[in-house]
Amino acid sequence: MSKRTKKAKQAEERDANQEERSFRHEWKHEINPSDRLVIRQRLRAVMKSDPHAVDGVYRIRSLYFDTLSDKALREKADGVNRREKFRIRYYNEDVSFIQLEKKSKQNGLGRKQSVRLRPEEVQALLEGRLDWMLQSGEALVQELYAKMKAQGLSPKTIVAYTREPFVYAPGNVRVTLDYDIRTGLGNVDFLNPASLTIPAEDKTAVLEVKWDAFLPAFIRDIVSLEGRQVTSFSKYAICRRYG
């Protein structure tokens, strides 16, 4: 595992472990390149870059699952109060560390559960060979298996982007800037980091803010931009515009 991947993995593992204990508050803002430059400078002045990032960033590549009727996509668009989605993910083009993740939303709060998968398990999943999932001993893997069988969940599209993460210990605040969002179209060649992706939104970036019990007022001010409202922006939904 590369140094860059190890650092990214440690950061996301820590974030996942925190979120598994309880639901967390989450804001999302769709921003433009000028906004990103302004907010980055503000964040650097008062928050720390996540120590697990390398040169302040890491690259994320995810493969999202959905049903034949696009249940996850439709529930996101309709603002359904209780919803979930499954994805698998790795960092910095290093497929030696892959995670299965389940994101849940309830009453505007978010929670993430995750478990590690081996590359050969992912390949079997992509080829429709699912029996190993029942024997995995991991509840999250078995839940995905059950929903693939009962609901018809299957891999839909690759979503790739660059992330700049910032942290602030009081309130367990994590702020990320995600940009260079790319879609794999209908391609699900997930284990090939060189597989084709194209820009999904050339000029769009996403500001995400997560916290536990409270968000310090000065951070609230930093991430506030005139004319910008909290949105339900979804990188998965943006990428699904292409198939």
State pLDDT tens for residues 143-186: 999 999 999 999 999 999 999 999 999 999 999 999 999 999 88
**How far lies 129's CA from each of 8, 140, 193, in Å?**
29, 17, 22
What are the domain boundaries of the chain?
3-240
Q: How many CB atoms lie within 10 A of CB 217?
A: 8
Helical (H) or strand (E) element with 169 = none
DSSP β-bridge partners for residue 160: 61, 182
Please check whether residue 161 is in contact with residue 180, taking contact to mean a CB–CB distance below 8 angstroms. yes
Cα distance between residue 75 and residue 37, in whole Å = 32
Sign of CA dihedral 112, 117, 119, 124: negative
Query: Which architecture does CATH list for 3-240?
Result: Alpha-Beta Barrel (3.20)
pTM: 0.87
State pLDDT tens for residues 22-74: 789 998 888 888 999 999 999 999 999 998 888 899 999 999 999 999 999 99
DSSP β-bridge partners for residue 105: 83, 110
